[in-house]
Chains A and B, each alone.
Chain A
Amino acid sequence: MKSSRSIRLISRRAASYVSRPTSRLTTTTERRQYSTHPPNARLNLPIDYSATPLLSHSSQTALATPDLPSEGKNSTTKRMNLFQAINDALSTALTEDENVIIFGEDVAFGGVFRCTMKLAELHGGERVFNTPLTEQGIMGFAIGAAAEGLRPVAEIQFADYVYPAFDQLVNEAAKYRYRDGSCGRSVGGLTVRMPCGGVGHGALYHSQSPESLFTHIPGLRVVMPRSPLQAKGLLLAAIRSNDPVIFMEPKILYRAAVEQVPTAAYTLPLGKADVIKEGKDVTIVSYGQPLYTCNAALEKAEADLGISVELIDLRTIYPWDKETIFKSVQKTGRVLVVHEAMVNAGVGAEVAAAIQEDPETFVRLEAPVQRVAGWSIHTPLMYEKFNVPDVARIYDSIKNTLEY
């Protein structure tokens, strides 16, 4: 209970921080809230989620989403934030398949981030329930249920707490189909949801982005949505997928990102990147929340430098869509990879290595691949804004690659 209160506050606080208009700044002599930005900042301004082109603010833009299948295109839409979209996807999954069950710590009353709100009341305590506080138990239980034909959606309360379940994920979930061979059993019905990423003040254990640890495990699919519309489509695809999926939810977006979301049940393809914005001079590859930062940086860079930048959302971090990335880099010749997780052995390392490894892409490179990511440190409370890639660092990286 204490935890849920604190977490709700964390996310609510984060949401109000990021959507607050820039004009509310006070003089420097007054005691400043830590969530404000420097008075003369031109680049590192808070993301304005109400205006960003990465979210569908109208029904028309939502329904024009690339990859949206016909059931989505012919649907009505509704304004939802990220946790509501996830709730909508979970509710849809529970309704359409009796084998879907949802469990984890504190999910029955609605979850500490409200993602499972009303699901227990609507679908019964046998299908949506609390587990004891044990991540390895949650994962082991989920694997057993999936191996016997259920489609469990397990929740790890924070990605920071997935490590006790690591053995179950690496040695069991990922290898189940492979070792069972022609017996044919797998845990393909398994989806593991976990909130991830920084929220401004989550410090060491409420901020982590451990996606690259999962991308090193054959057998798992790793997905991270950037918006409510994406979250619903990708989560439904994950639940319907016959491979186990790690579904990571940037918790800073739970309340901050609001957009029109098709009300119908629709999926978005796993393993396929999304070219958010076309450009010809530089490619930026990212996923999750940093895409908003990337977009703010590229808007400034385009205005200042008279260039055009292509922005690509990986969406699925593993197995990832190399073809789309290679095609873009062959066109632009310059590329940045941006992520919040620390730089060493992160997703950026894999993307950069694959780019230089592909003969047709390598010869088109005009500059070294740049990585803008967290430093190789833990996530410290007071220093988060110097650690997470911000608009200024991405802007600078765009300049660097152009000046090379």
Chain B
Amino acid sequence: MNKDLYKYILGIADNSLILAQRLGELCGHGPTLETDIALTNISLDLLGQTRSYYQYAAKLAGEDKTEDDIAFLRIEREYKNVLLVEQPNTHFGHVMARQFLFDVYHLMLMEQLQNSKDETLVAIAKKGIKEVSYHKRFSSDWVKRLGDGTEESKEKVQEAINAMWRFTDELFDVMEADKVMIEEGIAVDVSEMKETYYEKVSELLEEATLEVPERKYFTRGGKRGVHTEHMGYLLADLQYMQRTYPNMTW
């Protein structure tokens, strides 16, 4: 098996799964019926992407591995998602700030991934790009609405952006496996996206009449499997059935 490719795929796919899981918690609890539908829709898109990546990774791993083994039987230290996507849904402002900061990155990544030398990744990116552009439109519109809405909403979304900001720098970290894959023309060199990312995000925050936080102190670890304390609870929920009733068909 190409271990570096396997790791690279999980590094992307885990972000989609964990964010889908977070959005899935919100079902029926949104501020309007329309946002409920939209957030479920985004969750479903991300889960669909996850499944495509995991199916590909399972095929690489061989030994009858399935997408479900990858999702339900890895421990916290083996999950490679960035810390940003595992942050809790504290309130709608946090949900939108997290989504927005991830979507801008995700769309850039998908655009680049279309140029990969790996055909399967190209196919997944081509399908995903339409979905991710929709996600980005939804989350940036809401950041604008909340930022340039009422005093209260401005304060709340600013606080949420500030809270999520320290997790953004990790998005551009390049792992050892990624380096090998970049060499082979398969992976996207995310470190090269960094400046453009912050330009795009800053432009939108300004349009939303919000302050762009200082780029000074950042937190990282997710890509190395060292997560925040939220992650264990999230996986406990996600994996409960497979851990309690192993080796069954559902």
> Do the two chains bind?
no
Chain B residues within 8 Å of A, Cβ to Cβ:
none
